[in-house]
Amino acid sequence: MSETSHDAPDPGPHWRRPGAQPDDWDPRAPHVLADQIAAYDELRGTCPVAHSDYLGWSVLRHDDVLEVLHDHATFSNVVSERLTVPNGMDPPEHTEFRRINDKYFTPERMAAFHERCRHVAVGVLDQLPDDGDVELMGAVARTYALRVQSAFLGWPADLEEPLRAWVRKNHEATLARDRSAMGAIAIEFDGYIRELLDERRALGDNAPKDITTELLHDRVWDRPVTTEELVSLLRNWTVGELGTIAASVGIVAHFLAANPEVQEQLHDDDALVGPAVDEILRMHGPLIANRRATTRDVSLRERALGAGDRVSVIWAAANRDPEVFGDPDEFRLDRDPGLNLLYGAGIHVCPGAPLARLELRLITSELLAGFRVAPALSGADPVRATYPGSGFTSLPLHLTRR
C-alpha cells in the first residue's frame, strides 16, 4: 500500500526479484486499463491466482481472497520498510495502533457527525444547476470527499485545493511507479499534517476541540503516539477516504442514471439507500486491491508462492465472483451483506467503514431528494479511471431539480 492505505504498487525491500516467475497477464495492457473490471472478470475465470512482474500474485476469487485475509501470519501486511499506521503492520503492533483507529468510528461518533455531514452534502449539491449537464466527479464527488474529510478531522477550508492537487499527483506517480515522485509526494503531505499538529500543540488548551487535537493525546504501549506515527495514521485516513469516497459517489450516481426505476425506488424509501449503495459498490468496486507479502512458501489454488512474494487481493474481482453472487451484475437488495467484501474482512477490515457508509448514504439521499439523474444530454461518455484508481475520472450526467 505504499503511502496509501488504499492500495498502490510499491515494491517493498523484502520482495523477490521480478522475473523469477513467468507472467500470466499484463496489468498495464491497454484492454485492462480500458475496463479493468471486465478484465478481472475474464482473468478470474481463466487464471484465478495470476502472476505478473508488475503486481506479483493477483488473487481474484472470493474464497481465495478470504483465505489470504484470514491467514495474516502467512500473508503479511508489512509490505514496505516505510512506517504505515496501521495497515502496513502485523500483530502485535497492528493491534495496538488499530485500537486508536477504532475509537474514532464508533456509533456515538457517527451520530455526532451526522448533521454536520448532511450539511456538507447539501452545501455541495446546492451549487448545482436546476436543469443541466454537469461533470459529476468535479462538481460533486471530489469536492464532497475533500470537504467531508476536513469537516470530520477539523481541518481548515484552505487545505482543500492543496489536497485536491495532492490526490491527483499521488495517483499519477503510483501508476507510473515513480518512486522518487512518490517519496516527494509523501513528504509534501506530511508537511501539511505536521503544520496542523504543530499549530495545535502550540495552542495548548486553546487548540480546537476536534479529532486532530484529540489524536495528539492518544497513547500506545503506555507512551504518547509520536508525530511520525500520527502523520502516518492521518495520511492513511486521508488517502483511505479521498480516493474511495470520490470514486464511490461517481459509481453510485452513474448506476442511478442508468437505472431510473432504482432511483425512484430509493427516492420513495430512504431506508433502502444504505443497502443499495453497498450493493452498487459490490458490482463496481471503488477500491481495486490491497497488498500482502508472503512470509513462507505457500500454495494457493495449486500455484506455488515463494516466501517474500508480493500478493494483491483484488476486491473488484472477488466481489463479482459468480460462484458466490450468481450473476454479478444483477442488482439485488436481498443478498447476504456478510459476503460483500467492499470494506474487506479479518483484522484489517476497514475501520472507516461506518464513516464511509454515513457519508455515502447522506450524499445519495440528498441527491435523490433534490434531483433526477440521467445520462448527459450532450451525449458525452463517462471516462473510466485506470488502475490503481476506480470508478470514473470524468462523469457527464444530466441533473433536473425535482
Q: Which residues bind ligand HEM (CB under 6 A)?
A: 5, 86-87, 98, 101, 236-237, 240-241, 244-245, 248, 286-287, 290, 315, 342-344, 348, 350-352, 355-356
Given the complex with ligand HEM, which of 56 and 376 has the nearer CB atom?
Answer: 56
Nearer to ligand HEM, 276 or 342 (CB): 342
- CB of residue 105 to ligand HEM, shortest distance in Å: 7
First to last CA, the chain: 42
Tell me which residue has its CB nearest to ligand HEM: 352
- The nearest distance, CB 322 to ligand HEM, in angstroms, is 21
Query: Quick one: 91 or 306, whose CB is closer to ligand HEM?
Result: 91
Cβ 372 vs Cβ 397: under 8 Å: no
How far are the Cα atoms of 316, 387, 394 from residue 280, in angstroms, in the given order? 12, 19, 19
The DSSP code for 82 is S
Cβ(253)–Cβ(362) below 8 Å = no
Q: How many CB atoms lie within 10 A of CB 329?
A: 11
Instruction: In angstroms, give the least distance from the CB of 244 to ligand HEM.
Output: 4
Q: Whose Cβ is closer to ligand HEM: residue 62's or residue 98's?
A: 98
Return the SS3 of 292: strand
For residue 378, the minimal CB distance to ligand HEM (Å) is 29
| Amino acid code (one letter) for 381 | D
**Closest approach of ligand HEM to the CB of residue 273, in Å:** 14
CB of 316 to ligand HEM, least distance (A): 10
Report the nearest approach of ligand HEM to the CB of residue 326 (Å): 22
Q: At what angle do helices 107-126 and 142-153 cross, to 10 degrees?
A: 140
Report the nearest approach of ligand HEM to the CB of residue 175 (Å).
19
23 within 8 A of 51, measured Cβ to Cβ: yes
| DSSP calls for 144-183 | HHHHHHHHHHT--GGGHHHHHHHHHHHHHHHHHT-HHHHH
Cβ distance to ligand HEM smaller for residue 236 or 365: 236
**Residues 6 or more apart whose Cβ sits within 8 Å of residue 14:** 293, 308
CA-based max dimension of the chain: 60
170 vs 290, which CB is nearer to ligand HEM? 290
Quick one: how far is CA 223 from the chain centroid?
30
Hey, what's the cell of 81? 520498510
Q: Which is nearer to ligand HEM, 151 or 356 (CB)?
A: 356
**Residue closer to ligand HEM (CB basis): 233 or 373:** 233
CA dihedral (272, 275, 276, 279) in degrees, to 10, reads -160
